[in-house]
Structure 1
């Protein structure tokens, strides 16, 4: 086999392994970063990093969670690197505006006016509340409640015990409920004059 055909063969094998997972990787990267360009860069960095490790990729039994774990670790490394460059709060590294798009995709085509009004009110409030969570908590909630990942898969991706995933998810949901309740609570009721 010539060197050129070997390189083409390696390229094809790598593409066959990774290509089916690129959409999932991009969605996960977007959930983490909140920005289209950052998500694309994150996926590209991971793919470039993994290309020389084709033999290792071929040996992985469940490639999807493994790829997501690599992507998550790469994202965390970037966040840590950025935070060392200056005094930056981790939650400030992901902008809230990028989180708005995923709620729009949840709206039903046949929603009635009441449901549309509720979504119009709840969507932006939920985006604001999610943006206040630290990236690790936001990632956990988005992976489980939005993307539908099982807790076992999340534990594998984030490389933490299953019990930790369950307790963190419980705490995150409780904090979100309180924050969303406060966010949607009408401002102080003013008493009518003359009553």
Structure 2
């Protein structure tokens, strides 16, 4: 019976470390996968893998970035494993509705008909443009611009230099802006009727 209190103590220590970060891990996993079920599975896989490594968890100074880095690596491993097996990547399964949740949380400055029409056009165009990005590009853009992560934290989690994060964000925003402009303004200035 002496083993049971040790296991209970171990479980409580693990929960105390990981529980405060589960919601953030889920949001990050959802940004990576685009699907609720895939995000839940990804977080569960990470938690199961980390449970035997309690002493390592306890030695980590900044647990949030460390956990997100582990989650990202698990995601990349799953993508590689699925591509080797001939399956579709997790993000290929996004049906277009996966990115709508955060768009619905944005407040409108004006709920007039023009504003409603603009939002009705922008939502699908933005979803389409985001779906054309590679998973790592979409995650980078959403982590920074939607979730508000600092560039330093993104660099740490993704394991890339800070300068690379900055340049990729700049290129991604520029490419996204051009795609949205092409989608929302299909007629060039010279082809417009009357001004």
Give the TM-score, by structure 1 length.
0.90
Aligned partner of 1:3 in structure 2 is 3
Aligned partner of 1:144 in structure 2 is 144
Deviation at 1:95, TM superposition (A): 4.1
Residue deviations 1:107-145, cap 9 Å, x none? Answer: 34x742243332222111111100000011101000100
- Measure the CA separation in 1 of the matches of 2:90 and 2:39: 17
- Measure the CA separation in 2 of the matches of 1:89 and 1:159: 21
Residue deviations 1:30-65, cap 9 Å, x none? Answer: 110000000000000000000000111111111111
Deviation at 1:94, TM superposition (A): 4.2
Aligned partner of 1:17 in structure 2 is 17
- Seen in structure 2, the aligned counterparts of structure 1 residues 31 and 89 have a Cα distance that, compared at 3 Å, is closer
Aligned partner of 2:115 in structure 1 is 115
For the 8 Å contact 2:32–2:91, the answer to whether it is kept is: no
For the 8 Å contact 2:82–2:89, the answer to whether it is kept is: no
Task: Give the unaligned 5+ runs of structure 2.
Answer: none
Aligned partner of 1:84 in structure 2 is 84
Give the TM-score, by structure 2 length.
0.90
Deviates more, 1:131-140 or 1:114-123: 114-123
Task: Give the unaligned 5+ runs of structure 1.
Answer: none
